[in-house]
Amino acid sequence: MTESKAFISGCKGLTLTSDEKAFFAGERPWGFILFGRNIGEPEQIADLTAALRDSIGNPDAPVLIDQEGGRVQRIRPPIVAQYPNGAAIGEIYRRDREQGLRAAWLMSRLHAFDLMRFGITVDCLPVLDVPIEGSSDVIGNRAYGYDPRAVAEIGAAAAAGLKAGGMLPVMKHMPGHGRAFVDSHHKLPVVDTAFDELAGSDFLPFVAMKNELMGMSAHIVFTAIDPDNPATTSAKVVREVIRGHIGFDGLLLSDDVSMNALAGDIETRARGIVAAGLDIVLHCHGIMDEMLQVARVAPVISGDTLRRVKAVEAGFAKPDAADEAALRDEFNGMLAIA
């Protein structure tokens, strides 16, 4: 089989165009990601994930989605249930720790029931960011709360629910997006907090979950570490904080290379991501010119990235034998009480 390149790609619509099929066949991204624009009806979603895999001749290629609940839920009713946001799970936890952890596990296990039917195998969850008062709502109620230890516990339960359902999680956004005062989709957030304070709060959930197989970077400048580059393109943040202080040795994906927190054209951004030592460039928008720019820069997967990719590929497990209806009833009962 031809070697894959170190990028993940989106596509433009509900079905693949001939140009997209040719691009994927020639450039061989490691995996794919779906967004709301790719969601029509159940059979179409399953057909699209199959077509994406067929385009590169890999029936096991990972297909990702952001299915958190709340406002970040790409597949919505009536196809699947509308799920609560992370803050709602955090509120259950604050009232009753064990119930909160159970709710986090249940919601992820139900996501897995939903998504696996369509051939989606990776959910970009949990959100481990710890917001502060006054920070941008780009994270906001997506976060589990303001206590980093609680965020770590809830995040671990959420990740476990996905894995019980045969999916893999992606921790986001390393090493922490909670202090951003602007939305990194549009502007570059700059955080001036001292390293020791970051280590005692923002980094803690990622340290607690450092053994997960995948994580996603934050497009944020941490002036105490690297005043010139956001984490996504900072070799120093990757080396000293994500790989060093946090101790994460899993597959490190960039957040979307199209987000305007990053400077320069798409090729320049992708080149910076690769140079910083991230494993995979993530491109979400399905814009062919941008996809070509990413593909020009993304290397063939090798070395430590290949080792991490193999660990991810070996990490998918057969789903447990849970009773979906019973779990759904249990979860809905928790929400009714809440």
Catalytic residues: 185, 255
Alpha helices, DSSP H only, in the chain? 18-27, 42-56, 86-95, 97-116, 148-164, 195-199, 204-208, 235-236, 266-276, 288-297, 303-315, 324-337
Closest CA to 72 of 152, 161, 170: 170
Spatial distance between the Cα atoms of 295 and 283, rounded to a whole number of angstroms: 10
Strand order in the sheet with 5-9: 168-169, 122-123, 63-65, 29-34, 5-9, 281-283
CB atoms within 10 A of CB 167: 28
On the question of a cis peptide bond just before residue 175, with omega within 30 degrees of 0, the verdict is yes
What are the backbone dihedrals phi and psi of residue 191, each rounded to the nearest 5 degrees, phi first?
Answer: -115, 120
C-alpha dist (Å) from residue 117 to 15, 112, 120, 198, 264: 18, 8, 7, 39, 39
